[in-house]
Chains A and B, each alone.
Chain A
């Protein structure tokens, strides 16, 4: 993190960072338009597109009916036809109604056509739990989509990425899915006044440390950083890696970190079985097995559809306390 003077930094919410990115993209490129349920008159179900209708009009801030498969497919078609659509699906849960278009069409077109038709489509959606919205509105399926070749999957955890990933995604010739964790929208943070596009390829070392590498993404990254702070007071220095992109995975960054710290904990809001955390763990085994002082550990969501009751939901999600406790054990019992 580069030191910046107060004048060049400003405070804003993650939601505002997303909105700025949307507005900037619309201003810079006439081919860009936003389409999805309630993005216009309602202002976006998470208010991420509030007031954009006034500036850009209903052609480019396009309210759609409740037809996820239809408008995601239309986004694919518009991308093929030379537009640069940003399709907003309210949440990842509803993206499952469009899963066919995403997986069977967006992800396959280039390949099926022998390289003739690429799909420059960006799909944004909210993801994740923690707001007592129960089993049909709370799942974190970022890692699930990362299973699919042919698309990129990014999970911006920071204001910088919420602000900067969209433009880069729009420049990509292929479909990019952007997952915005619903628990992050209200989070305030600092952003450079001139913040702009950022890469969408690399993981980022957010906090250096010598004792263990915590590999995480999205809202779990915020918890990992909080845990690292607590552990630091106890003399345990955790290195924290923000994956940023789940597909492709920047394995070089996390493998080199694990080689230095010799321990790894993956914190992933997805379910454990068959998850992105399993993939990362496997890559660590494959890549730097002999550098490990302890088995790789994973902290994931409990394997249960998300319960509504607050205490049950809290117990189902990885929490700061769980990270701290697990790392204490990992650091003490091994090496």
Chain B
């Protein structure tokens, strides 16, 4: 079974490099989110801001299974996905500052990060809205015989929307290459899954559409990576869509406006003990794959990356107001 977890047997050096790379990616996300929270307090970032602390293992693990040709569709809680997909922290932060060098020209903000180069199709702030888009991207790949996968991230709250069910059915009916990744953090804003679903077993829901489905510990980056690799390989080989439930938890409030009346502090603290970064670090240390020096180096590099990104965003410029009505319809190319 274990042989399946890691697709190719790596040399010890490659193995160590790989796990440190995973750890670093999670730390990069955490530091980015910390910067966002600070910049929100400093009023540099406005609007809605949804942070990803606690869920890093999901974006980091799943992205390992996607190639540059694949597509990604995400939600409004997508800073981490964008960063790991390869959008620079600078252009992400510039976007949240509302600057024109931002990845969406300052038009989108935190909830609407987009990037054509990395095939990052947003940043959708309508719950469930991304699923049909993923179905369509996959349909285009299938019709053009491209062996690509569309990775579609969404929260467990989305499973109550009709679009979830319609998308599961379409993807399964047409055997489309979609990897549906449901980040089950147990709450949709203040509503607990058990108070909003008659059947809380999400794997059963997906299975009822004959979509191959599995559930994985979303706090364990290696487990997520292995499950995603396996699912993505099957999707890529033409076996139709896969559904992967990642059981995770958000450590912070839903957004910057949430007083968190709906959950116990103790529950949050319990989950924090399973922090994907710290738990992974601990395992790596006991296995002798991570030294304190390694961690310091990673922290130093992540801090530098984010610091430079903030400076970059600061230095970026405002789009001229005269451009307001641009990009409502396509600009004709003057040949």
Contacts and interface: CB of A to CB of B under 8 A. Distances in A.
B197 interface: yes
A135 B112 contact: yes
Given A38-B189, A309-B318, A134 B107 contact: yes
Interface stretch (A65-73, A105-113, A150-158, A215-223): A65-73
Given A133-B47, A136-B112, A137-B111, 12 more contacts: A42-B189, A42-B262, A63-B191, A67-B160, A132-B98, A134-B108, A137-B48, A304-B328, A308-B104, A308-B108, A308-B112, A312-B321
Interface string B270-283: 00000000000000
Interface string B17-48: 00000000000000000000000000000111
Interface of B: 46-48, 95, 98-99, 104, 106-109, 111-112, 124-129, 157-158, 160-163, 188-191, 195-197, 258-259, 261-262, 318-319, 321, 324-325, 328
A131 B98 contact: no
A245 interface: no
A307 B324 contact: yes
A37 interface: yes
Interface string A77-108: 00000000000000001100100000000000
Interface string A288-318: 0000000000000011110111111001100
23 contacts: A41-B190, A41-B262, A42-B190, A43-B259, A63-B191, A66-B158, A97-B161, A131-B47, A132-B109, A133-B48, A134-B112, A134-B125, A135-B107, A135-B108, A136-B126, A302-B324, A307-B106, A307-B324, A308-B47, A308-B106, A309-B106, A309-B109, A310-B46
Q: List the 8 closest pairs (A to B, CB-CB), nearest first.
A: A42-B190, A309-B98, A308-B109, A65-B160, A65-B196, A132-B47, A309-B106, A132-B46
Contact of A69 (B124, B162, B191): B162
Contacts of B48: 133, 137
A132 B125 CA distance: 13
Interface SS of B by simple majority: loop
A26 B108 CA distance: 40
Given A37-B189, A41-B262, A302-B325, A312 B47 contact: no
A253 interface: no
A312 B324 contact: yes
A45 interface: yes
A64 interface: yes
A304 B325 contact: yes
Contact of A304 (B127, B259, B262, B324): B324
A65 B193 CA distance: 9
Chain A binding site: helix, strand, loop or mixed by DSSP?
A: loop
B122 to A, nearest CB: 10
B158 A136 contact: no
B271 to A, nearest CB: 19
B162 A67 contact: yes
Contact of B196 (A64, A302, A311): A64
Residue from B106, B190, B195 whose CB has the most chain A CB atoms within 10 Å = B190
Contact of B111 (A66, A68, A97, A134): A134
B196 A63 contact: yes
Interface of A: 37-38, 41-43, 45, 63-70, 93-94, 97, 131-137, 302-305, 307-312, 315-316
A303 B326 CA distance: 10
Contacts of B98: 132, 308-312
A68 B196 CA distance: 13
A210 B111 CA distance: 46
A44 to B, nearest CB: 10
Contact of A136 (B111, B261, B328): B111
Nearest to B104: A308
Most chain B Cβ neighbours within 10 Å, of A43, A131, A310? A310
B328 A305 contact: yes
A311 B321 contact: yes
A67 B166 CA distance: 13
A186 to B, nearest CB: 12
Given A132-B46, A312-B106, A312-B321, A38 B191 contact: yes
A137 B197 contact: no
A214 to B, nearest CB: 24
Contact of A42 (B104, B129, B261): B261
Contacts of B47: 131-134, 308
A303 B325 CA distance: 7
A37 B324 CA distance: 34
Contacts of B158: 66
A134 B109 contact: yes
A65 to B, nearest CB: 3
Contacts of B106: 307-309, 312
Given A65-B160, A94-B126, A309-B98, A316 B189 contact: no
A61 to B, nearest CB: 13
A67 B197 CA distance: 11
Interface centre among B99, B106, B109, B262 (most CB of A within 10 A): B109
Nearest to B125: A136
B157 A66 contact: yes
B324 A137 contact: no
A305 B160 CA distance: 27
B125 A45 contact: no
Contacts of A70: 160, 162
A310 B318 CA distance: 10
A189 B54 CA distance: 41
Given A134-B111, A307-B107, A93 B190 contact: no
B329 to A, nearest CB: 10
Contacts of B190: 38, 41-43, 63
